[in-house]
Structure 1
Amino acid sequence: MGQRTVNLDDLSIFLARLTSLLLRSSGEGAYVIERAVSTSAQAFGCRVSLVLVPEAAVLIVTAADGSTRTVSAHGFPEIIRLDRVAALKLFLADVKAGNLALGEADRRLARIEAAPAPYPWWLKFLGVLLFSLGFAPLVQPTWYEITTTAVLGAVAAALVVAAIHVPRLSKILPLVVSTVVSVVTIELFTGDPAHGGPVLLMLPALFYFIPGDYLSASTTELAVGLVTTGAIRLVYATFLLVQLYLGVLLGILVTGTSPHTLFDTAASADLPRWAMFLGGIVFTAGTILAFAIPYRFFWILLVLVYVTFGVQSLFTKMILETGGTFVAAVVLGAAANLLDRIPAGPPRLILILPGFFTLTVGSLGMRGLTTLAGGYVIEGFQDLQKMVTIVTALSIGLVVGIALTHARATTGPIAPTPPITSEGV
């Protein structure tokens, strides 16, 4: 890779824009940003140091002659536009290979930033609905759960689409959705205890908002030594869980229902095996549409969903749920890391996401909070303890899987190499 002489001011602006976009796409964790930005700076003959927090960064760019520039970048982390993550993988590979001049690279980055969402609003609506329906059999394998989720998922999807056009709504969307879903569930679907507890009926429709990805990313960042970024992301994930929890409680208050109804009672399974198998297809299709993933990645993601679920189910029977989750995470992390090396294939975050969701991490947190609110202290703390254990097992499993398959010749930022953070400054 040949180094090129560029204007340091122009390069600093370019790297700040790149960092901002990477921050907005950092659902896998902030540790991937340092390698991507450093590699890009090296491609243009410079070095860069970063001070990172989840939503901002300070870059110190140093040229070969020792001159420096300091710039800042901001970007709120999210995973709702993964088409940009896919485009960034190819873009970063071209920058690293020296195929782009700085001006051309800057224009191409601008096109990635300005690109419209790949799917119209009605497909976004369908995606959130299918995402919920595909997850429903994993909560309760009953026809009633699926029927209930069809209604509640449509309500949640409508609010998600509305928030696209009403930015203020997006700030409190988890609270609004959980309140509405709670009211509808209690008023329409909780007459017969044999159908399961209200929280189990609500969960599939709320799963899109449960911050399992943030919980896992924060734990991963803590595991690789990024204490500041991991702690901040953990606090934010907890804040999102509390919004969902408060929304469920508001629904209880509005309907005048006793909090004791929040205790989880599971219904007897009545779904055939073919419906469970079909759920994986529905779930993957929903993930594609809900998170703006290019549809050409559907089949590879579907295979990873089935592999992850199969490994978790097999090893859960052998070494219980925590062990099964850990082994499934190792397999998922290793498979995603290896498949990420395919130049035209999906990046690792997209490969991990659907399989990760099948491990149902964040739902345990809300179940624990709502069970506590219902007055069932022991059961609530058991759910919360289970959440912490499984989140840790999942995060460490992903790190182990990635480490076992790590290679220097990769198509993007792979290894969790810690950047310079505020702890080391």
Structure 2
Amino acid sequence: MDRMTGKLMEFLEELSRALIASGNSVTETERILRSIAGSLGVMVEVSVLPTMLIIKMGGDVSRMSLAAQSPGFIPLHQVTEIYRLIDDVKEGHVDPESALDKLVSIRRSPHRSGRLGMFSGYILLSVGIAFLIQPDLSLITYSSFLSLIAGFLIVMSYGNERLSLIMPVLASFTVSSVAFFMICEGLMTGNLSLLVPPLIYFIPGVTITTGMYELASQELVSGSSRVIYACMLLLLLLFGVLMGMQLNGFPQQEFTAIKITSSFIYSPYLGAVLFATGIYLFLSVRRSDFPWILLVLYTALLGQQIGNLIAGGLLGAFLGALSMTVTARGIEIAGKTSHFVTLYHVLIQESPPRLV
């Protein structure tokens, strides 16, 4: 194996780890690796799983290594830089050895907003979600207060894999315990949607979507494992909420019986701006990507509202998903930013109405 082939192998291996860690589907990861090797005139066979990858190059040259998606998230500015690096390698602007060094440098780059920015961003995106799903001033205020608790726990666990593993249960238990206690004491009113904005980070909308996409692509092992993992996260959230409810002796039927009356006609549009701004800070988005993220978000919101008016929530969900996908692909084709970056946040925003 010559030096160029060896460096290409190392680059593809490290790139695969980065793409898997970002939450990319194995189908997309395999396509990217093959396209890079093909652009360099190298034949490659790739098999990617959520926890393992096998690369065979140039006949007998092969390598197997482990890869995993750790709890938490990769800052989206890193994802943007990774996709730009992929384009540079395919166009021949960067050789595999330099690309490997640059990829390692990208992965080591810190969060652009820091912990304080992450905390502020999480509060904003939680408030934005509250405007989208429960447009009532009192409920938005209550959710904002609970988001302070959840945001603090999330920021404290950032970068700590062990703490991140138990955070779904810990956060849902803490938030629900405070909420139920305040409701029992007459300090707060609301229904189950009150808990969605503070816990939105733990709702695995991205994982479920990626898993379903992989299942549709006949990637049965990867797709089923992601869906099972997402279901486990939902069960952990439910377990924490039920513990908080039981701790306070709160009757479930009383909590779910409270209805919401909309107070703001334009709340979804205000919520979308707040949500996008929060995503910008919390997920460490590049400044140049923010307008495109906002465009995809409003496209999804508009498609969802049109579908809701025509035939209800199911058509709304379909039109929202269709419109945002087409828009994100169009932005990518225009060379602005990757569809993964512009779709990632919308998959979070699209999940609450279906899970509440």
TM-score range, shorter chain: over 0.9
Q: Say if 1:218 and 1:230, in contact at 8 Å, map to a contact too.
A: yes
For residues 30-54 of structure 1, give each alpha carbon's deviation from its aligned partner in whole angstroms, at most 9, with x where no partner exists: 2110111112222333222222222
Q: Say if 2:52 and 2:64, in contact at 8 Å, map to a contact too.
A: no
User: 2:322 & 2:5 partners in 1: Cα distance?
Assistant: 41
Letter matched to residue 97 of structure 1: E
Letter matched to residue 279 of structure 2: T
Letter matched to residue 350 of structure 1: V
Matched, 1:181 2:181: no
User: How much does 1:193 deviate?
Assistant: 11
User: 1:253 & 1:67 partners in 2: Cα distance?
Assistant: 60
Distance 1:166 1:16, change over 3 A: closer
Instruction: Give SS of 2:244's match.
Output: helix
User: 2:219 & 2:65 partners in 1: Cα distance?
Assistant: 19
Letter matched to residue 308 of structure 1: A
User: 1:342 & 1:43 partners in 2: Cα distance?
Assistant: 20
Letter matched to residue 32 of structure 2: A
User: 2:160 & 2:83 partners in 1: Cα distance?
Assistant: 31
User: 2:80 & 2:116 partners in 1: Cα distance?
Assistant: 22
Q: 2:338 aligns with which of 338, 347, 353?
A: 347
Structure 2 partner of 1:172: 166
User: How much does 1:162 deviate?
Assistant: 0.6
Structure 2 partner of 1:59: 55
Q: Say if 1:288 and 1:294, in contact at 8 Å, map to a contact too.
A: yes
Letter matched to residue 6 of structure 2: D
Structure 1 partner of 2:312: 320
The alignment-based identity, stated in percent, is 24
TM-score, with length taken from structure 1: 0.78
User: How much does 1:10 deviate?
Assistant: 2.9
Structure 1 partner of 2:256: 263
Structure 1 partner of 2:45: 49
Q: Say if 1:309 and 1:328, in contact at 8 Å, map to a contact too.
A: yes
User: 2:334 & 2:44 partners in 1: Cα distance?
Assistant: 27
User: How much does 1:256 deviate?
Assistant: 2.4
User: 2:184 & 2:200 partners in 1: Cα distance?
Assistant: 19
Matched, 1:334 2:330: no
User: How much does 1:94 deviate?
Assistant: 0.6
Distance 1:165 1:189, change over 3 A: farther
User: How much does 1:251 deviate?
Assistant: 0.5
Q: Any stretches of 5+ residues in structure 1 without a counterpart?
A: 368-425
Instruction: Give SS of 2:112's match.
Output: coil
Q: What are the residue-to-residue correspondences of 1:127-142 with 2, within 5 Å? A: 127-142=121-136
Matched, 1:289 2:286: no
User: 1:26 & 1:49 partners in 2: Cα distance?
Assistant: 22
User: 1:104 & 1:72 partners in 2: Cα distance?
Assistant: 21
Q: Say if 1:219 and 1:230, in contact at 8 Å, map to a contact too.
A: yes
Q: 1:358 aligns with which of 314, 324, 349?
A: 349
TM-score, with length taken from structure 2: 0.93
Letter matched to residue 111 of structure 1: S
The RMSD of aligned alpha carbons is 2.1
Q: What are the residue-to-residue correspondences of 1:109-128 with 2, within 5 Å? A: 109-128=103-122
Q: Say if 1:308 and 1:358, in contact at 8 Å, map to a contact too.
A: no
Q: Any stretches of 5+ residues in structure 2 without a counterpart?
A: none
Q: 2:302 aligns with which of 307, 310, 313?
A: 310
User: How much does 1:363 deviate?
Assistant: 5.7
Q: Say if 1:31 and 1:221, in contact at 8 Å, map to a contact too.
A: yes
Distance 1:261 1:80, change over 3 A: farther
Letter matched to residue 148 of structure 1: Y
